[in-house]
């Protein structure tokens, strides 16, 4: 075997040995857990795992992986729904519409100036905070053990 291929095989084996495997996760994660609300909020805003605060929460822009690569937390519980988008739309609408109204009243610029100013601002204030907001809602959902509502089954 050529020396370069041998080195690559050795690196691959070393990487495979260091990657966590779902069967190797320890049952006692108490030393890695986040126990405070402020810790959960910081983990959510940092887009990290809500349990250990170290693993990545997102695979793509808003796609969740099946589990945390550090502690093995199954992300099947996570369902932020439309919550992040609704909060972002309300906050962004307040900022952009307020700024556009103030600009119109004070300077009365032509419409192309409004388009040049507010279209980039809309993209920044909507897409920028979307990931941290979704991470925050998922982290708070995990911290408070929120789940889908279920009917009790008792007759009324």
Please state the φ and ψ torsions of residue 67, each to the nearest 5 degrees: -155, 165
Q: Report how far residue 139's alpha carbon sits from residue 41's, in angstroms, rounded to the nearest whole number.
A: 7
56 forms beta bridges with 48
How far are the Cα atoms of 36, 57, 65, 130 from residue 68, in angstroms, in the given order? 20, 7, 7, 20
Query: pLDDT, tens digit, for every residue of 34-59?
Result: 999 999 999 999 999 999 999 999 99
Q: pTM of the full predicted structure?
A: 0.75
In this prediction, residue 3 carries a pLDDT of: 46
Question: And the tokens for 11?
Answer: 């690196």
Residue 49 lies in a domain: yes
Interaxial angle between packed helices 130-143 and 83-107, expressed in degrees from 0 to 180 and rounded to the nearest 10: 140
Residue 91 lies in a domain: yes
Q: How many domains does the chain have?
A: 1
In this prediction, residue 22 carries a pLDDT of: 44
Q: Quote the domain boundaries for residue 59.
A: 30-143
Residue 104 lies in a domain: yes
Which residue numbers in the chain have pLDDT < 50?
1-30
């Amino acid at each position: 075997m050529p020396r370069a291929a041998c080195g690559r095989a050795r690196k691959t084996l070393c990487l495979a040995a260091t990657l966590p495997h779902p069967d190797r996760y320890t049952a006692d994660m108490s030393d890695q857990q986040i126990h405070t609300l402020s810790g959960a909020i910081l983990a959510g805003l940092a887009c990290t795992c809500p349990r250990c605060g170290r693993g990545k929460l997102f695979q793509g822009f808003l796609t969740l992986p099946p589990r945390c690569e550090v502690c093995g937390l199954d992300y099947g519980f996570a369902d932020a729904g439309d919550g992040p988008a609704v909060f972002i739309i309300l906050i962004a609408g307040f900022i952009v519409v307020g700024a556009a109204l103030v600009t119109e009243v004070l300077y009365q610029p032509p419409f192309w100036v409004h388009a040049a100013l507010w279209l980039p601002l809309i993209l920044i204030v909507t897409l920028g905070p979307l990931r941290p907001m979704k991470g925050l809602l998922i982290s708070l959902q995990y911290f408070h053990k929120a789940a889908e509502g279920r009917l009790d089954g008792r007759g009324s």
